[in-house]
Structure 1
């Protein structure tokens, strides 16, 4: 099976896992991340197959979406083995998707290969800007978060457990706790250039939101 066929099968696998998602981690998100990852990779020259495969698979091991992460990872590995993805590529893909989430970065910047940096940047770019604003509201509403409370300041110095605890977060505070930080946490100059305008849009949005409140 050639790599084009392998990627098509991995797309089908991810679709099976995420097609019913209602948190903003659906196939539309996946396909935007794959597209952005390809665009970045064209300039940066990473392993195209690893970049595309990791972009396709990055949310099927996300602990926000799946309760048994060990089982989720085992399922991904079994799928790649069935598709005869090489062992070195399997290892590389699993390392990327296991380390690239924002929550992992709370304990310190994770070391990622060039391919991992590209996929992480592509994923994080989809969390900011116009689509990022919509996804933040969509995700927060799905989890019954409060929209805004002026008496509730953004949380600081979050560890992973506190970050995952949505009981004392608001949707607007999420911009301060994560989204406004992304611009300076991206890996590549190419992604940072794209992030600049998206970051400014979010700042304008939150300023206007608070003025209207």
Structure 2
């Protein structure tokens, strides 16, 4: 099976696997990260096949979406082995996936290679801007989070913007992603200012 066929198989598998996901980590999110990864790659370089597969697989073993991260990772490895992919490439893709996770900013696995940086940037770009706002409130609603509480902001969806999302532009790796993030950051800042103004009325 050639690389294009492997990408198609991976796309079909992830589309089916995430069809009932309703927390903002759905197939639409994966598809956007996949596209963003390709867009960033066009300026930044790297191995496109590795980037595409990692982007398509990046949420499969996410601890927010599976009860057994180890088993999910093993399933990904087995799938790639079935496609007769080289062991070193499989290991590279798994490391990219592990480097993507934010883990409250304390992920021990740092993005080092250009492939790791690109997929991490693409995933983080989809967490900010207008789509990021929509996804954040979708996730908050799915986990029974209060929208906002100015007296006790901890664990509210609004606080998540301050704890993570507004910090993302300064933590991006590539010049391409940083340029994309400028408008997205402005959208979030305007939204938060407007929301807090209305909450204070």
For Structure 1 versus Structure 2, the TM-score category normalised by the shorter chain is over 0.9
| TM-aligned CA distance change 1:123 to 1:84, over 3 Å | same
Query: Is 2:76 the partner of 1:90?
Result: no
Q: Is the Cα–Cα contact under 8 Å of residues 6 and 85 in structure 1 kept in the other structure? A: no
Q: CA deviation at 1:111?
A: 3.6
Can you give the 5+ residue segments of structure 1 that lack an aligned partner in the other structure?
154-167
8 Å CA contact 2:111, 2:120 repeated in 1: no
Q: Distance in 1 between matches of 2:198 and 2:36?
A: 34
Q: CA deviation at 1:13?
A: 1.9
Instruction: Provide the residue aligned with 1:72 in structure 2.
Output: 72
The match for 1:200 among 186, 189, 197 is 186
Q: Write out aligned runs for 1:120-199 (5 A).
A: 120-153=120-153, 168-199=154-185
Structure 2 equivalent of residue 106 of structure 1? 106
What is the Cα deviation at residue 112 of structure 1?
Answer: 2.5
**Are the structure 2 counterparts of residues 36 and 176 from structure 1 closer, same or farther at C-alpha, using a change threshold of 3 Å?**
same
> Secondary structure of the equivalent of 1:133?
helix
Query: CA 1:109–1:7 in structure 2 vs 1: closer, same or farther (change >3 Å)?
Result: closer
What are structure 2's unaligned runs of at least 5 residues? Answer: none
Q: Counterparts of 1:44 and 1:90 in 2: how far apart (Å)? A: 22
Q: Is the 8 A contact 1:104 1:110 kept in 2?
A: no
Count matched residues. 199
Q: Would you say the 8 A contact 2:34–2:55 is kept in 1?
A: yes
The verdict on how the C-alpha distance between 1:7 and 1:114 changes in structure 2, with shifts beyond 3 A counting, is same
Match of residue 209, structure 1, among 173, 195, 199: 195
CA contact (8 A) 2:99 2:109 kept: no
Mapping for residues 5-44 of structure 1, pairs under 5 Å: 5-44=5-44
Determine the C-alpha separation between the residues in 2 that align with 1:109 and 1:77. 18
Change (3 A) 1:200 1:108: farther
CA distance in structure 1 between the aligned counterparts of 2:144 and 2:77, rounded to whole angstroms: 34
Superposed CA RMSD in Å reads: 1.3
Runs of 4+ in 1 over 4 A off after TM superposition: none
Whole-Å Cα distance in 2 between the matches of residues 61 and 107 of structure 1? 15
